[in-house]
Structure 1
Amino acid sequence: MTRNAMLRVVTTTLVSGLLAFMPLTTPAQALDDGGLPSLGSTAGGISAGEEFRMGRAWLRQFRAQTQTWQDPIARHYVESLISRLLPYSHVGDLNWTVTLVDSRLLNAFAVPGGVIGVNEGLFAFAPSEDAFASVLAHELGHLAQNHYARRMERVEETQLPTMAAMLAGMVLAAGGAGNAGVAAMFGTQAAFIQDQLAYSRRFEQEADRVGLQAMTDAGFDPQAMPAMFRAMQRLTSLQGGNPPEFLLTHPVTQSRISDTQARADQLASPKSPDDGTAYAMIRARALLDQNADDPAQAMTQLRQDDAPPTAMRYLEALTDASRNRTDAALSALDRLADQQPDLTLIPASAAEIALDAGRRDDALARAERILRLMPDYYPAQLIRVRILLQRAPEQAFQELRDMSRDHAEDPQVFDLLAEAAGHSDHKTWGLLARAEELQLTGHIDRAIRQLDVAEDNAKQEGDFGMASRIQERRKAYLGYRETLQQF
């Protein structure tokens, strides 16, 4: 067997089905006293809480070794799609969070702790919202079927070590050490290869079936799923037999495509399909980010896939902004917003462009118009607090404290909170927020040292209540470090 062939077999065997895990009941974003996000119980054993901790530890390691795609508008869009699918996906009370990955590779994944990841490359590959949603529905199908729990029943005696080593290998591979990551996974579970390969294929078929029904019930076209599988197979042929990353973890066979097609044919397509404008606009953002040096490539791909004309005008506006033609960009976006008043991403994009161009008054006015209609629209909230940081740091601090409760898994919020606290005479909070940002990005030792500084500062200021809460937080961090050391 060639090295590449072995890589495909091992990766498919060990990762397929293990990228998607059972629903969790541990509160993902519950808050401790003092408004601090909880890291979960430190109790031993493979409980839902331990699974939650392991998955969120994986996310922090993942952030430490990969680049995330920092696009609040795109992330909000993905979250809205997942929210649309969830009621029909039978995942129970899933505590989930989304991370976007700055990678051209075609991939999406789910890991314990309700972490759902999407590579920027998936936007480039999926030509429509239905196609994109089919991948998300498939991932939620894994969660609904409890595939992680069912797989672990077969290796119960090595459950925790296997999980830790598997996730460690995934982190290594994601960080660019592909062969080392595969070797780590291979060394952990070599004895299970043949057995697990057939098992994972069954899991993939189950996830397809659940995902197909969920996307149909949510109003998406089920025909998009088999079409995506066929497109992935064609991509494999064009790449000389090297499958995209998604197919290494979710192998597609002809029988699987046939089964998915037969089932899709029995399901109804939406009577009034969405015109796909919102998705095409988000896709334009991803394509422009990937082709920043040659925006014409982004436009070419949109045209090839028959994107709505409105989305192409949106891309033209973003391109103008990237070339410092701010007035032209804002004028075009304002016209588009009048034509598409239900697409909040258009005025949010304008506010973002105005802020990036240094037009803070204009950006603030635009963001506040959005927030009057949608108070919880995260992209506009971020724009507003970034401006308030310069003008009214105390107000920014208070608003960011509220945001940190709603977005306890977002390192950017804690980064801004640390800055706001520093500018508004809340030194202890600034130190604490920086510790949170460090632990969220996988730098747990530095985070613990930062907590020690925060505790000393709280005591010097006579705030022994805060010092006590920080001591409790430190215990959580130490437990978290123990979890991280299993990777």
Structure 2
Amino acid sequence: MTLLSAPSVPAESDYGLPALGEQTVTYAGMNEERLGRAWLRQFRAQTGQWSDPITQHYLESIVARLVPNSNLGDIHPTVVLVASRMLNAFAVPGGVVGVNTGLFLFAPDRDAFASVLAHELGHLSQHHFARQMQQAESSQLPTMAALLAGMIIAAGGGGGDFGVATIAGTQAAFLQNQLAYSRQYEEEADRVGLEALARAGMDPQAMPRMFRAMQRIASLQGNSPPEFLLTHPLTESRINYVQARANQLHVKEAPPGPEYDMVRARAMLAINMSAPSQAQIRLKQDTDDPFAFRYLDALIDSVQNRPDQALAKFDKLAAEQPDLLMIPASAADAALDANRRQEALDRARRILRFAPNYYPARMTEGEALLTLDPSQAFNVLRKLADERPEDPDVWNLLAEAAGRSGRKAWGHLAMGERMQLNGRLDSALKQLDYAEKAADDADDFTMKSRIRDRRNDFQRYRDDLDQF
């Protein structure tokens, strides 16, 4: 997996997908978990994601730090990177958390970035979406189907270097004539978010700081403010409230390291691929850390086909910061981009000896093995798919590994899994037909039983989508 590629124990009966826990809030017969997953399939079908395992892992680590401190109970969040330069983030019932690439551009530091996610998780913890739906039903206002459709339509147009428009956030579909009610929700989400930041050991002052930065951006952009501000309006009274609450919370924490600036460098380069110097200029606006600039220089060498220079720079950086797995993972990725598959494999496995669960290195290992040893690639990626059953990129690589290693039924099954996660349920069911035929030809009764179970699950997923 490259920088620029198109972006609990599972229950046996559900073949690796998270169990749908009981929830107190339902809509159209679906609990919040099913609702969120169905929404995510629709969302993926309409929008572009940025597939970058290094950034994905970093984002998941931030969410994992916030979720236990956000009064969300026992949820297993699914984190989505959206390919859009617009400033936005969202959270959807069931634990779906999304971040536009553009949030990295506008959030100057880690805790400011995390404050936006903490606010969105605050909406989830207070069940704001479900509460709004209950009010909408009682007043015969638009149904959830119309609201979710509006959110997807908002994300479906062109925009930015990635060709994707921003999607509205969790509250984007909230009814405009319920402004006073949504102000209450915003205050609740602010309060829960601030407390989550403090409990997670992050600076609660980052939230009012980020809000003021967004307010300045809005004033500069006039009639085209960031989408986040259209759905989460900022007023002086709200910022003052957040500031007063933040002043009551005190956290002692060592200053964060350079990881956030390094991830920002990745995002800035991905958005400015045609003019990498713009990424350098943008990064220098918010940080004076020379380490992040050197990391960006190495990334630029990699994407401009100078692998020797890139690898030399990455190795030097890694020697200076041996605990930052992101650096050797970037080097392994650069070797893979240069088609140095054995070197990429060796570098990935050096990381995995010390950090066997590090997702970016496991993805590089699996992709490097596709040509070196497809059967081994299949084993590596099948294990990763068991652990990350809602990751379409993993299933995509697994389908390729299965095909190259002669596992025809598995190849169709894995492709079906990728398709159903991307909202293409009819195509996914056809892949299961092909998989069952291949299993039948091979007299593989265990696989046939598994495929039939998944067909029942896929049909249920399609029924959920039909609710919209």
Q: TM-score, normalised by structure 2?
A: 0.90
Q: CA deviation at 1:161?
A: 7.7
Partner of 1:456: 437
The equivalent residue for 1:349 is 330
- Does structure 1 residue 56 correspond to structure 2 residue 58? no
In 1, the alpha carbon distance for the partners of 2:384 and 2:266 equals 25
Give distance in 1, aligned partners of 2:46 and 2:260. 29
Relative to structure 1, the CA distance from residue 306 to residue 200 in structure 2 (aligned partners, 3 Å threshold; closer, same or farther) is same
Q: Which amino acid aligns with 2:152?
A: V
Aligned to 2:10: 30
Identical columns (%): 56
Task: Report the Cα offset of residue 177 of structure 1.
Answer: 8.4
Identify the match of residue 385 of structure 2 among 378, 393, 404. 404
Q: Tell me how far apart the structure 1 counterparts of residues 202 and 413 of structure 2 sit (CA, whole Å).
A: 43
Contact 2:136–2:142, Cα closer than 8 Å, also in 1: no
1:397 aligned partner, one-letter code: F
CA distance in 2, matches of 1:161, 1:255: 30
Q: How far did residue 243 of structure 1 move?
A: 1.9
The 5-angstrom pairing of residues 95-174 of structure 1 reads 95-156=76-137, 162-174=143-155
Q: Distance in 2 between matches of 1:473 and 1:363?
A: 34
Deviation at 1:303, TM superposition (A): 1.3
**Judging changes above 3 Å, is the alpha-carbon distance between structure 1 residues 41 and 205 closer, same or farther for their aligned structure 2 residues?**
closer
Say if 2:342 and 2:372, in contact at 8 Å, map to a contact too.
no
> Out of 212, 217, 227, which is 2:194 matched to?
212
Q: In angstroms, what is the RMSD of aligned CA positions?
A: 2.7
Query: Superposition pairs for residues 310-349 of structure 1, below 5 Å?
Result: 310-349=291-330
Q: Contact 2:440–2:448 at 8 Å: present in 1 too?
A: yes
Which range moved further: 39-48 or 118-127? 39-48
Residue 228 (1) aligns with residue 215 (2): no
CA shift in 2, pair 1:34/1:225, >3 Å: closer
CA–CA distance in structure 1, aligned partners of residues 295 and 158 of structure 2: 37
2:361 to 380, 391, 397: 380
SS of the residue 1:117 aligns to = strand
Rounded to whole Å, the distance in 2 between the matches of 1:159 and 1:318 is 53
Q: Where does residue 438 of structure 1 map in the other structure? A: 419
Give the corresponding residue for 1:361. 342
Partner of 1:246: 228
Q: 1:477 to 1:198 in 2, by over 3 A?
A: same
Aligned residue in 1 for 2:447? 466
**2:269 counterpart of 1:274:** no
The secondary structure found in structure 2 opposite 1:242 is: coil
Distance in structure 2 (CA, Å) of the matches to 1:108 and 1:405 = 28
Is 2:401 aligned against 1:420? yes
Contact 1:414 1:436 in 2 (8 A): yes
In structure 2, relative to structure 1, the CA distance for the partners of 1:159 and 1:447 (3 Å cut) is farther
User: Which amino acid is 2:450 matched to?
Assistant: R
Q: Is the deviation greater in 229-238 or in 95-104?
A: 229-238
- Partner of 1:37, secondary structure, is coil
Alignment partner of 1:305 is 2:286: yes
Contact 2:87 2:103 in 1 (8 A): yes
* CA offset digits 1:380-437 (Å, max 9, x no partner): 0011011111121111111211111111111111111111111222111111111111
Judging changes above 3 Å, is the alpha-carbon distance between structure 1 residues 36 and 128 closer, same or farther for their aligned structure 2 residues?
Answer: closer
The CA distance in 1 between the partners of 2:16 and 2:254, in whole Å, is 44
Q: CA deviation at 1:40?
A: 4.9
User: How many residues end up aligned between the 2 structures?
Assistant: 452
Gaps of 5+ in 1: 1-26
Which ranges of 4 or more aligned residues in structure 1 deviate by more than 6 Å? Answer: 41-45, 158-161
Matched residue type, 1:410: D
Q: Deviations over 1:288-313 (max 9, x none)?
A: 11111111111112212124110011
Q: Say if 1:418 and 1:433, in contact at 8 Å, map to a contact too.
A: yes
Consecutive unaligned residues of structure 2, counting only runs of 5 or more, are 1-7, 160-164
| C-alpha displacement of 1:466 | 2.2
Q: 1:401 to 1:159 in 2, by over 3 A?
A: farther
Which residue number in structure 2 is paired with residue 202 of structure 1?
184
User: Who is 1:480 aligned against?
Assistant: 461
Seen in structure 2, the aligned counterparts of structure 1 residues 127 and 41 have a Cα distance that, compared at 3 Å, is closer
2:428 equivalent to 1:447: yes
Question: Contact conserved, 1:295 with 1:319, CA < 8 A, in 2?
Answer: yes
Whether the aligned pair in 1 keeps the contact of 2:317 and 2:327 (CA below 8 Å) is yes
Q: In structure 2, how many angstroms separate the alpha carbons of the residues matched to 1:320 and 1:364?
A: 20
AA aligned to 1:30 is P
Match of 2:270 in 1: 289
Distance, in Å, in 2 between the alignment partners of 1:257 and 1:153 is 29
Alpha-carbon deviation of 1:176? 1.6
What is the TM-score with the length of structure 1 in the denominator? 0.87
The structure-2 alpha-carbon separation of the partners of 1:48 and 1:210, relative to structure 1 and needing over 3 Å to count, comes to farther
Deviation at 1:96, TM superposition (A): 0.8
Quote the offset at 1:269 in angstroms: 4.6
**Aligned-pair CA distance for 1:346:** 0.5
In structure 2, give the amino acid aligned to 1:205: E
CA distance in 2, matches of 1:466, 1:209: 50
User: 2: distance between equivalents of 1:289 and 1:414?
Assistant: 23
SS in 2 for 1:343: coil
Structure-1 separation of matches of 2:350 and 2:293: 25
| Code of the aligned partner of 2:400 | E
Which one is further off, 281-290 or 294-303? 294-303
Distance, in Å, in 2 between the alignment partners of 1:212 and 1:375 is: 34
In the alignment, the residues of structure 2 paired with residue 157 and residue 32 of structure 1 have an alpha-carbon distance, to the nearest angstrom, of 39
| Alpha-carbon distance, 1:86 to partner | 2.0
